[in-house]
Amino acid sequence: MTVETSPKDAYERVLDAIDRGDYLPGDRLVEAELADRFGMSRTPIREAFQRLETQGILARDGRSLIVASLDHDQMGELYVLRGELEALAARLAAQHAAPEEVKVLFDMIDQDRELIDRPDEMSRANKRFHRQIHLASHNRYLIQQLELVHRAMALMSQTTFAAPGRGGQAMDEHTAIVRGIEARDGAAADKAIRAHISEAYKVRLKQNAQKA
């Protein structure tokens, strides 16, 4: 007996594929291909596409749907929002993170240093690291909002970790963030994570300028 996949399942699977970089900004999505890939009918895929288009994750290109991309202003708006929400998460983590959570964050930094010369793997590790800070905030509503922001980050085609030296610099920035959390110093954690997001934004702007 075949169990029909719900539109919610299809939505999450398409979104995860975009988030992983399986589909990049500008790539065309085809109902039949994704239905075959996920082993489901085209109906839940179609409904997932409609939802993703409404959210701005997918965009129309003639009769086709493609993964959307962010223009200069949208990118700036996203980084502003990300900076504010990440700073709040860091401050709350400084208040509420268990010692074990802090230890996990330090362990992640140690492991991630081995990926410095592998930008794509570094990018995925970076997402896991930030997700761990979000969880350490122990605020479910903030976590939900940050999840939306990080989904939108997938609409940028190139990782900032591809920039020379960015990997090692980011690891030092991560260390400063976690030290603030460990010290229960919300102001220090806030300052460190804002600096981290600002540096990432500057790298992103330089990357886009070089493509222009």
What pLDDT shows up at residue 8? 67
Q: Are residues 174 and 114 in the same domain?
A: yes
- Beta strands at 58-61 and 64-67: parallel, antiparallel or unpaired: antiparallel
Higher-pLDDT residue of 133 and 71 is 133
Mean pLDDT confidence for 195-211: 93
Q: Are residues 18 and 77 in the same domain?
A: no
Of 42, 67, 92, which marks where a domain is finished?
67
What pLDDT shows up at residue 1? 33
Instruction: Kindly calculate the radius of gyration of the chain based on its CA atoms and give it in whole angstroms.
Output: 18
Q: Are residues 99 and 57 in the same domain?
A: no
> C-alpha distances in angstroms, 122 versus 28, 51, 180?
26, 30, 22
pLDDT, tens digit (0-9, with 9 covering 90-100), for 30-83? 999 999 999 999 999 999 999 999 988 999 998 899 999 899 999 999 999 999
Per-range mean pLDDT, top range of 98-107, 141-150, 156-165: 98-107
pLDDT band at 2 (very low <50, low <70, confident <90, very high): very low
> C-alpha distances in angstroms, 63 versus 25, 29, 30, 59, 60?
17, 11, 11, 10, 7
Q: Are residues 37 and 90 in the same domain?
A: no
Domain of 113, in residue numbers: 72-211
pLDDT, tens digit (0-9, with 9 covering 90-100), for 138-156? 999 999 999 989 888 888 8
Domain count, the chain: 2
Mean pLDDT confidence for 196-208: 95
> Concatenated DSSP letters for 103-116?
HHHHHHHHHHGGGT
Secondary structure (3-state) at 65:
strand
What pLDDT shows up at residue 47? 94
Per-range mean pLDDT, top range of 8-17, 51-60, 172-181: 172-181
Mean pLDDT confidence for 96-107: 98
Burial environment of residue 102 by CB neighbours within 10 A (0 to 12, 13 to 18, 19 or more): buried
Report yes or no: 93 and 188 within 8 Å, Cβ to Cβ: no
Burial environment of residue 73 by CB neighbours within 10 A (0 to 12, 13 to 18, 19 or more): exposed
Q: Are residues 58 and 92 in the same domain?
A: no
pTM: 0.85
Q: Are residues 130 and 202 in the same domain?
A: yes
For residue 19, what is the domain's CATH number?
1.10.10.10
Residues β-bridged to residue 28: 66
For residue 123, what is the domain's CATH number?
1.20.120.530
Range name among 2-6, 47-51, 152-156, 185-189 with the lowest pLDDT average:
2-6
